[in-house]
Structure 1
Amino acid sequence: MAYLVLARKHRPKNFSEMVGQEHVVQALANALGTQRLHHAYLFTGTRGVGKTTVSRILAKSLNCQGPDGTGGITATPCGVCQACRDIDSGRFVDYTELDAASNRGVDEVQSLLEQAVYKPVQGRFKVFMIDEVHMLSNTAFNAMLKTLEEPPEYLKFVLATTDPQKVPVTVLSRCLQFNLRPMAPETILEHLTRVMATEAVPAEPQALRLLARAARGSMRDALSLTDQAIAYGNGELVEGGVRQMLGSVDRGHVFRLIDALARGDGKTVVEISEGLRRDGLSAASTLEEMTAVLQAMAVLQAVPARAAAAETGDSEAAETARLAAEMAPEETQLLYSLCLHGRAELGLAPDEYAALTMVLLRPLAFKPGDAQLAAGSAEKKTLNEPKRPPAAAVSAPVIAPSMPPAPAPAAEPPPWDEEEFAAAADVESPSAPPGPRLPVVDAPKARPAAPIDAQAPAKVQAMPLRVQGTAGQRDMPQAQHAASAPIEPSEEGDFWFATVTRMVAQELIGALARELALQSQLVGRDEDQWLLRIERESLGQAGSRDKLQGALAALGHSVKIAIEIGAVSDSPARRNKLAAEARQRAAEEAIHNDPLVQSMMRDFDARIVPGSLRPV
């Protein structure tokens, strides 16, 4: 007899044998027990979680005749009657399975629906099972809508899909939907242990645990990997062989890496990374295993009670609990995030092991060192800080204001004591962060107030000012100073401003030619040639000059334009800017002098938002 793979040999035959889908089993069992049967069922979930298995068990439950042939609808099919045996073997005439991935057209669906008009031949119900139903075409979905909504009483639809988002809403609304969840590694591990005991295959618990994790929630994948591991291990499951077959990294390397990162031992991290390179172990698998361990550590740190409930026989669980106690929770979260995002960086680097080393060393850059390391880093950070002069040499520069000096006061209060100022300048807050600090000066002690003479005029005392510096003023372009200076009207400037204004108003010039006219200064003119001065050479292109000459010719000035580069003191653009500034000032003065505005500012403490005033 040919060998039957484990995934088919150990397929559940009834609801009691199913694992990991208790919520679906309970709902279907209760419905079958109370005879509250729906006409269409939709089972969704990832691969290998039991969609087809549930469909076959449901078909057996609907058509089971019992060992003596007198049974009815039941949640516990006997498995020995003709209907149960035929459904298990796939030859029951009233149970039809359609693969929608290869039969997705309207013709295939129509041929299936043609059988719906005939009553069951052997069983109690006809059951149409359509697998991967989301692969059907839109016309095929439309063709089955009416029958799916009101099928004959002897017909049941069972639909299965791994992508329910692609199923039309009109189909979803006609079905009773059940979502089969991915199975937990612990559930898969328990089932694999029972299967290996039934098959009498010696298996190490750690080898089965690796297979359960590699299945990623799919029981069929777990059984298929177990078949492969049995063949690889020549009839037995050993941790080393299973790990080598899967290409997974030994958790021992992962634990040593996390322990070295917790201690800040970069040398050990690099040595382990080089060892992974020599052994040919996958860098992506290393980061994947690290994220799994760090996730378990984060759970233990958030819920300490889980550490006491961990399996005592599992050495990995004990090591995970130890690392969770040694590493701070914030470091665990940081390392988890770096490892998770580091997997995407492996394909970007020319060498994945170099990328792995960088990902592993990155947490050390964010990890605080010991006191000596902290002192060294603090010393490095202060290398570029300017040294403060001695306290006795601290002085504030006095800048003379541009206004006329105020009359000297009759009596000037005594200045601060220099020693007192120096002592106050060296006081630093112990809780202040490292880095450059400014001297903190305490307020002078209160002195007895001098008698105030009501007849004496108010005296203003000049105080020392501290300024940022004048480097920015020295670097300011001269054009900005010239733009703020007033313009001395001239005959050439007035003529050129009027000419440019006419050309712009009549739309004789545009774009670059208009900019040339606005930004230039008419230096001189005669009967056949005018000389313009510009500051930027890019404005004086030949095309712009030719267009400007054509516009002047349209106004009756048939002249040629010569251009020179130099400082411009009078241009139409500057005149327009000064006129706009004058209008803005007039508008602001009008608002500020308005009686209503002044009353609102006085009575309601109103304020004018700076920059909100615009001249009309």
Structure 2
Amino acid sequence: MSYQVLARKWRPRTFHELVGQEHVQRALVNALDQGRLHHAYLFTGTRGVGKTTLARILAKCLNCTAKGHGEEGVTSTPCGECDSCRAIDEGRFVDLIEVDAASRTKVEDTRELLDNVQYAPTQGRYKVYLIDEVHMLSTSSFNALLKTLEEPPPHVKFLLATTDPQKLPPTVLSRCLQFTLKNMPPERIVEHLAKVLEAEQVGFEESALWLLGKAADGSMRDAMSLTDQAIAFGQGQICHADVAAMLGTLDHRHVVALVEALAEVDAARVLNEVSQLAEQGPDFAAVLDDVTGVLHRLAVAQMVPGALDNGHGDRDLLLALAARFTPEDIQLYYQIGIQGRGDMAHAPDLRTALEMTLLRMLAFRPQGVPQPAKTPLPLRGEPGPVTPSAAGAGPSGSPPPDEAPAAAGREGAGLPDAARGEDGLPDAGDHANLAPTPEPPMAQDRFEAPPPWEEALPEASTAPPTVADGLNQGREAAPRPAENEKEREREKESEKEGEVAIAAAPAPLSTAEASVVAGPESAVSRPAVIPEPAGVEDLDSPSASPSSAPAEMLKAGHATGDDSACFTHAVWLERFDSLGLGGLTRNLAAHCVVESDDGSRLVLRLAPSQDAMNAEIHVRRVREALAGIGVTRQLIIEAGPLPEAVETPRQRADRIAAERHAVAVEALERDPHVRQLQETFGARLITSSVKPVDASQRA
């Protein structure tokens, strides 16, 4: 007896043997059991998913002659033993007319077929017309079929099958019940192949079946054919190495090894893995496609672990690997991979293009830290429950500064929380040229008492005040009204002294002039001086002058390199430009305010919109810059909401630039020449084009 291929030997004989098409099986079984039979069925789907098999099973259900099926004889469970069932299985049933529409496309063939429709069945209960690849019929053939397809004789059933239903006329589609068969997922294919091979007593490796299931591309028939080929290739056994060699596809384990090298930020290992791949002569473009495919699956694993497919049998491995990446890294790597795929056509060779794309992923990591962060799965956007311990924490729910971890131990920015900004990478230019970034307002209910700067400011003052030393002290209980009155009197007494002391410090801005030279009266000498509020601990000390504290610290402390002096936010603002920071580090520091300084540890509070850029390399650069001006501290930069009354260096620079611009515009508007141009020619001043210049830039 000749050998019968697995695809034919294991073809389902009943609905219950069908694999992977439960939605179609349920509809047809219910229709058969209830006697609600349509006269035309259309089965669509890719090759090898069971269209013809379904049609033949349905033909057996309609013509089974086994006893016990009732008066009609129609059943959803054909016996497979009667003459009709055996004849249909063997392809010799007279009343099952199978037509290959691809070879009989002419209208004459269709008319000849329809001439026999009116005659009663010879052997069975129904005459079944199975037209395969029906989309290949010509327009004339469809038109000839329409009338019979709509109102056939009661003993005729039409079963149509096609892989391209879009080519069918709407008039044909409207006359049929359409069932779309799904592609087989690799998990279902591997499960079915394992059962078949166990029944056939063929040894196999499960990893080899995953290769076959992936190569089948959703077709069970293709999977069975490839299994036949693999058995012959492996001399009766199915091994992973043999299947990989037979298919000529890239071993998925090499792709995962490449992604693991990216997770370790190990450029040497990346190049080594590519070198090992080159020995197999792969398609490097396909390698990059596989890498981006794994990155996509890692992103899914981070967001919705339950939705991660197991197409390669590596679901658990990818779930563990996803925790080694930050979400920002995966998104950037994927974008670079897609871009690099398009650039391969212009590269000297494909291997070079692959290596450069992988190295570009490591070179442009957004964190800029030597070790990637650990990402807990799944990612959640909802805030956690508020606990009593968290309620007493800082304004952002973070632990008090004395319990904050050291910045040197930070491993990346971690997960983006709900307060994180929506902007991308900030500009690397000078902070005075950057667009203003609004800071989120501080929720008042996050404080147990109003901040001291709100109590200490005079009511008539409208200019934004500077922050006092120790933002942490604002979380303590506010002084009573009587104490506030005493403090106001003390501040008035020391106001003049404070102004003189602050004036002694280097002013950030000396003049502001327009492009058209304005008089000296239009220049800005310095920002308005507002008494600096004292901390709670300083309220009982008459000698503690808030306004004179920054200058005194500059003279007595930091000017001489004495680390015992407290580093306040006012000093931070005045010494910021002298730090010599640049690029992303300067932009990060420009969004910080001094929260506390105990002489050994300096805590900076960072605006939440910039938390994504908070990395160890920037913390180290700021710490080294502070050490250059005599401030040697353990530096900690934490993200959290900023008080409304506190200016960051960025906001201060934006305010000064806005004041200078306003003065320049005012000077131009008062200029007689500009007024003459406006009156004579109807000209108007475009204020956005006005750029104030310093006195040093005057021609």
| TM class, shorter-length | 0.5 to 0.7
Taking structure 1 as reference, are residues 255 and 37 closer, same or farther at Cα in structure 2, changes over 3 Å only?
same
d(CA) in 1 for partners of 2:47, 2:681: 73
The answer to whether the 8 A contact 1:398-1:466 is kept is no
User: What's 1:509 paired with?
Assistant: none
Q: Is the 8 A contact 2:14 2:78 kept in 1?
A: yes
Cα distance change of structure 1 residues 236 and 385 upon mapping to structure 2, 3 Å threshold: farther
Equivalent residue for 1:290?
291
Distance change in 2, residues 1:247/1:413 (3 Å): closer
1:440 pairs with 2:438: no
Distance 1:151 1:285 in 2: 51
- The verdict on how the C-alpha distance between 1:171 and 1:396 changes in structure 2, with shifts beyond 3 A counting, is same
**1:326 and 2:441 are equivalent in the alignment:** no
1:349–1:355 CA contact under 8 A, matched in 2 = yes
**Structure 1 partner of 2:163:** 162
List per-residue Cα deviations over 1:415-435 (Å, max 9, x = no partner). Answer: 989x97996543454247699
Aligned to 2:38: 38
Change (3 A) 1:402 1:353: closer
Residue 217 of structure 1 aligns to a residue whose secondary structure is coil
Query: Aligned in 2, Cα 1:33/1:399: closer, same or farther, shift over 3 Å?
Result: closer
- In structure 1, distance between residues paired with 2:241 and 2:148: 55
Residue deviations 1:285-307, cap 9 Å, x none? 43344345434433332235679
Task: Write the distance in 2 (CA, Å) between the matches of 1:78 and 1:206.
Answer: 37
Indicate if the aligned counterparts of 2:329 and 2:366 stay in contact, CA closer than 8 A: no
Task: Give unmatched runs, 5+ long, in structure 2.
Answer: 373-407, 409-424, 434-504, 530-549, 555-569, 577-589, 593-605, 611-617, 622-648, 657-661, 667-673, 685-699
Does 2:117 match 1:116?
Answer: yes
Contact map agreement 1:60 1:84 (CA 8 A) in 2: yes
Query: Highest relative contact order (Cα 8 Å, sep 6+), 1 or 2?
Result: 2
Report the counterpart of residue 3 of structure 2 in structure 1: 3
Change (3 A) 1:227 1:348: farther
- TM-superposed deviation, 1:341: 6.0
Conserved 8 A contact 1:48-1:219: yes
Give distance in 2, aligned partners of 1:207 and 1:414.
76
Residue 364 (1) aligns with residue 362 (2): yes
User: What is the Cα deviation at residue 402 of structure 1?
Assistant: 7.2
Change (3 A) 1:211 1:290: same
What is the identity, as a one-letter code, of the residue corresponding to 1:244?
A: A
1:316 paired residue number: 314
Q: Within 5 Å, give how 1:12-91 maps onto structure 2.
A: 12-66=12-66, 72-91=73-92
- The aligned amino acid for 2:325 is M
Q: Secondary structure at the match of 1:326?
A: coil
Matched, 1:190 2:191: yes
Report the CA distance between 1:441 and its aligned residue: 7.0
2: CA distance, partners of 1:189 / 1:239 = 14
| Secondary structure in 2 matching 1:158 | strand
Distance 2:197 2:173 in 1: 40
Deviation at 1:328, TM superposition (A): 2.1
Note closer, same or farther for the CA distance 1:396–1:316 as it changes in structure 2 (3 Å cut). same
Q: Is the alpha carbon distance of 1:288 and 1:61 closer, same or farther for their aligned partners in structure 2, counting shifts above 3 Å? A: farther
> Alignment partner of 2:59: what SS?
helix
Q: Name 2:235's counterpart in structure 1.
A: 234
Q: Within 1, Cα distance between the matches of 2:86 and 2:333? A: 54
State the one-letter code of the partner of 2:510: S
Paired letter, 2:652? V
SS across alignment from 1:19: coil
8 A Cα contact 2:31 2:37, kept in partner: yes
Q: Measure the CA separation in 2 of the matches of 1:45 and 1:415.
A: 74
Match of 1:426 in 2: 575
Q: Deviations over 1:309-331 (max 9, x none)?
A: 999xx983332222022122343
CA contact (8 A) 2:265 2:370 kept: no
1:396 matched residue in structure 2? 511
Q: Secondary structure at the match of 1:160?
A: strand
1:366-419 alpha-carbon deviations (Å, 9 max, x no partner): 3135557999xx9x9689999xxx94796326569779x79x99xx999989x9
- Quote the Cα distance in structure 1 between the aligned partners of 2:280 and 2:358: 18
The structure-2 alpha-carbon separation of the partners of 1:44 and 1:269, relative to structure 1 and needing over 3 Å to count, comes to: same
Q: Deviations over 1:267-298 (max 9, x none)?
A: 21122112211221332443344345434433
User: Pairwise mapping of residues 106-145 of structure 1 onto structure 2 (< 5 A)?
Assistant: 106-145=107-146
> How many residues are aligned here?
448
Q: 1:164 to 1:304 in 2, by over 3 A?
A: closer
Q: Which amino acid letter does the alignment assign opposite residue 320 of structure 2?
A: R
Secondary structure of 1:367's aligned partner: coil
Kindly indicate whether the alpha-carbon contact (under 8 Å) linking 1:13 and 1:57 is maintained by their aligned counterparts in 2: yes
Checking the alignment, whether the CA contact within 8 Å between 2:207 and 2:313 is kept in structure 1 is: no
CA apart distance, 1:143: 0.6
| Aligned-partner residue type, residue 86 of structure 1 | A
What are the equivalent positions in structure 2 for 1:541-556 lying under 5 Å apart? none
Structure 1 pair 438/127, CA: closer, same or farther in 2 (3 Å)?
closer
Partner of 1:199: 200
Distance in 1, Cα, partners of 2:63 & 2:516? 105
Distance 1:108 1:26 in 2: 35
Is contact 1:93–1:121 with CA below 8 Å preserved after alignment?
yes
Following the alignment from structure 2 to structure 1, what is the Cα–Cα distance between the partners of residues 291 and 516?
67
Corresponding residue of 1:272: 273
Does the CA contact (< 8 Å) of 2:187 and 2:213 recur in 1?
A: yes
Structure ID, larger Rg: 1
State the AA in 1 paired with 2:511: A
- Superposed displacement of residue 338, structure 1: 4.4
Aligned residues of 2:509 and 2:526 also touching (Cα < 8 A): no
SS in 1 for 2:128: strand
Q: Given the superposition, is the C-alpha separation of residues 395 and 221 from structure 1 closer, same or farther in structure 2, using an over 3 Å criterion? A: same
Find the residue that maps to 1:440 and give its secondary structure.
Answer: helix
1:227 maps to amino acid:
D
2:204 partner SS: coil
Q: Which residue is equivalent to 1:508?
A: none
2:270–2:358 Cα contact (<8 Å) kept: yes
Deviates more, 1:263-272 or 1:146-155: 263-272
Gap runs ≥5 in structure 1? 445-462, 468-483, 487-577, 590-616
Q: How does 1:484-503 map to 2 (within 5 A)?
A: none
**Alpha-carbon distance between aligned partners in 2 of 1:143 and 1:255, rounded to the nearest angstrom:** 56
Percent identity of paired positions between Structure 1 and Structure 2: 47
Distance 1:372 1:57 in 2: 62
2:330 maps to a residue whose letter is T
Shift of 1:443: 9.6
Task: Tell me if the contact between 1:264 and 1:367 (Cα under 8 Å) persists in the aligned partners.
Answer: no
CA contact (8 A) 1:183 1:217 kept: yes
Aligned letter for 1:150? E
Deviates more, 1:391-400 or 1:93-102: 391-400
Q: CA deviation at 1:106?
A: 0.8
Deviations 1:498-545 (A, max 9, x none): xxxxxxxxxxxxxxxxxxxxxxxxxxxxxxxxxxxxxxxxxxxxxxxx
- In the other structure, the counterpart of 1:173 is 174
2:315 & 2:36 partners in 1: Cα distance? 46
Residue range with higher mean Cα deviation, 204-213 or 279-288:
279-288
**Paired position in structure 2 for 1:99:** 100
Q: Is the 2:305–2:319 contact (alpha carbons within 8 Å) kept by the matching residues of 1? A: no
TM-score norm. by structure 1 comes to: 0.63
Mapping for residues 141-152 of structure 1, pairs under 5 Å: 141-152=142-153
Q: How far is 1:439 from its partner?
A: 9.3
Q: Deviations over 1:29-88 (max 9, x none)?
A: 111111111000000111111000000111111111127999811111111222111211
- Aligned partners of 1:270, 1:337: CA distance in 2, in Å? 20
